[in-house]
Amino acid sequence: MAARKRKRAAVAGFRDRITGLRRVRAGDLRASPKNWRRHPEGQRSALRAILDDVGFVGAVVAREMPDGSLELLDGHLRAEIDPDAEIPVLVVDLDDKEAAKVLATFDPLGDLALPDAAALAALLEGVDFDEHADLRKLHADLAAAFARIADEIEAKPASETEHDVPGMEMAPHEHYDYLVVLATTTQEWNTLCDRLELKPERRRRSLGTCRAVRAERLLKAIDGR
C-alpha cells in the first residue's frame, strides 16, 4: 500500500488515496466493525424507493485489506439493500488509523452544509415522488420544515436577521462542557426545533437553524415546564 501512495499524483495538493473503481457483489463487502451509523426502517424504505426509481448514481467507499477483502467506510446501508447486487465501489488504501478518521468525519462533514431554503423549495417543486410513499413523506417533511423556516425569517425584523450565526456564540470550546444530540429523522429534528424554540437564522446567503442552546432551556423542555 505504501508504494501506491508514493506513485499516485496529488489531487489539488492533497494525496490521492483512491486506487480504483470496481463493481463488487454487495454481500462480499465487509462492514466496518467501527461503523457508528444506525439506519432506521424509514431511511431503509426511502433508499429502496430511490434505488428502484433511479438506481445507483454514486459509489460506496471501501478500503482494501491485507487479505484482499474490501471493508466498507461509507455506504453500509446501500450494500445491505440487496446482497446479490453488483454495486460500484470506490477502493481506497488507508491504514487502520486513517480509516477510523474517515469513519468519524465523512458523514458529519457533509452534515455541516447549510441549506438554502429557497433553492431547496424550487428543487422540490420540480420533483415527482407520487409513486413512492416513503419518498412522498420525505418530500412533505422537507417542504414543511423549510416553509416554517421561510415564514419565521420573513416575520422577523431585518435587524434580527442580518447578523451572522449569533446562536453559535455559544458553540462548544475547550472550556465548555457540552452534549451532542443526534436527530436521525426529519420528524425528530422538527420536534427538537419546536420544543427548544430553535429559531432560523440568516447565514451569509443561506438560511440555517440556531444549533446552540443553553442547558437551562433543555432542562425545562425535558421537565415539560
Say yes or no to pLDDT of 26 above 50: yes
Q: Which helix (H) or strand (E) holds 223?
A: helix 215-223
Q: Are residues 139 and 82 in the same domain?
A: no
| pLDDT band at 160; cut points 50, 70, 90 | very low
CA distances from 152 to 11, 27, 149, 160, 213 (A): 42, 47, 5, 11, 18
Tell me which residue range forms the domain holding 176: 117-223
Same domain, 6 and 106: yes
Find which of 13-17, 74-78, 164-168 is predicted with most confidence, using mean pLDDT: 74-78
Q: Do 61 and 121 have their domain in common? A: no
Same domain, yes or no: 70 and 129 = no
Which of 82, 111, 140 finishes a domain? 111
Choosing from 62, 90, 111, the residue where a domain stops is 111
Whether residues 107 and 139 share a domain: the answer is no
Question: Are residue 10 and residue 102 in the same domain, yes or no?
Answer: yes
Highest mean pLDDT: which range of 43-52, 63-72, 171-180: 63-72
pLDDT digits (tens, 9 = 90+) for 64-104: 999 999 999 999 999 999 999 999 999 999 999 999 999 98
Same domain, residue pair 182 and 218: yes
Residues 142 and 200 grouped into a single domain: yes
pTM as predicted: 0.57
> Taking Cα atoms as reference points, which of 47, 58, 48, 65 lies closest to residue 21?
58
Report the alpha-carbon distance of residue 127 to residue 137 in Å, rounded: 13
State the total domains in the chain: 2
Q: What is the pLDDT of residues 109-152, one digit of tens each?
A: 776 766 676 777 777 777 777 666 767 777 676 666 666 655 55
Q: End of a domain among 89, 111, 133? A: 111
Any idea what the CATH number is for the domain that residue 27 is in? 3.90.1530.10
Does 135 lie in the same domain as 38?
no
C-alpha cell at position 180: 451532542
Domain co-membership, 97 together with 137: no
Q: 45 and 129, same structural domain?
A: no
Are both 131 and 163 inside the same structural domain? yes
